[in-house]
């Protein structure tokens, strides 16, 4: 991309090393989709692509650590630390690297670090948008399969069930997180994209419940 100060292909190569054993719900294709969404949102919101785009490629490089810890370790925090090493290796200027690391550290929905810059807000929205709509539904079922969850339980209680268990169905993820994402987006562009994705996802899970009950 013309005018960029960062060698995105070099970042892409380095990031790809962390995804050799990635599971389908959080694989390299997810990072590439987030990259494309982040580029789209950044151009509308006036965010710096030199920060947003490397952050999008690197944002989930700590995901494998979190999965093996069954969610007890924050992949955003791990990813920010790993990304700092990657950017030092690539010779990125320190202040630029730190702004990229902030985006990564603050992109997690359940994370304690909140986005403080427009670039971090763009990455947050791009990552969350890939969790809803048609793609988000597919990813939710992929993750449920990865942790050995059942296909569906319309009576699941999100308050009493636990993640990384047979109760951690796609529908539980919808109740706990996905249905709230539209209202958690931080940019105007993110909110616009979220509207149709949210509507499609809600209609899907409504129909799923009816099909399971034999109504449809």
* pTM across the whole model: 0.93
d(CA 136, CA 174): 10
Class of CATH domain 131-216: mainly alpha
For 1-113, the fitting CATH number among 3.40.50.80, 1.10.10.60, 3.20.10.10, 1.10.3210.10 is: 1.10.3210.10
2-58 pLDDT, tens digit per residue, is 568 899 999 999 999 999 887 888 899 999 999 999 999 999 999 999 999 999 999
pLDDT band, residue 144 (cuts 50/70/90): very high
The SS3 call for residue 54 is: helix
Residue 169: how many other CB atoms lie within 10 Å: 24
Per-chain mean pLDDT for the chain: 93
What is the signed CA dihedral for 184, 19, 80, 158, rounded to 10 degrees?
Answer: 40
Exposure on the CB side of residue 187, measured as CA atoms within 13 A: 28
Residue ranges of the domains in the chain?
1-113, 131-216
Alpha helix positions (H), the chain: 8-16, 28-45, 49-58, 63-68, 75-90, 94-105, 118-129, 133-146, 170-176, 181-184, 188-212
Report the range of poorest mean pLDDT among 39-53, 150-164, 199-213: 150-164
d(CA 128, CA 151): 23
């Amino acid at each position: 991309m013309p005018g960029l100060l960062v060698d995105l292909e070099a970042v892409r190569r380095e990031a790809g090393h962390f995804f050799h054993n990635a599971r389908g719900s959080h694989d390299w294709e997810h990072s590439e989709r987030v990259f494309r969404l982040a580029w789209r949102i950044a151009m509308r919101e006036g965010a710096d692509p030199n920060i947003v785009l490397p952050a999008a490629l690197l944002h989930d490089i700590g995901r494998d650590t979190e999965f093996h810890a069954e969610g007890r370790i924050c992949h955003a925090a791990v990813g920010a630390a790993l990304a700092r090493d990657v950017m030092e290796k690539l010779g990125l200027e320190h202040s630029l690297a730190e702004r990229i690391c902030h985006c990564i550290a603050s992109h997690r929905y359940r994370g304690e670090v909140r986005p403080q810059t427009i670039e971090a807000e763009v990455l947050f929205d791009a990552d969350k948008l890939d969790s809803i709509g048609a793609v988000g539904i597919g990813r939710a079922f992929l993750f449920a399969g990865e942790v050995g969850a059942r296909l569906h339980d319309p009576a699941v209680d999100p308050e009493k069930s636990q993640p990384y268990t047979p109760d951690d169905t796609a529908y539980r993820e919808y109740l706990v997180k996905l249905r709230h994402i539209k209202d958690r987006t931080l940019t105007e562009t993110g909110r616009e994209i979220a509207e149709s994705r949210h509507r499609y996802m809600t209609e899907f899970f409504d129909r799923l419940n009816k099909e399971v009950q034999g109504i449809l």
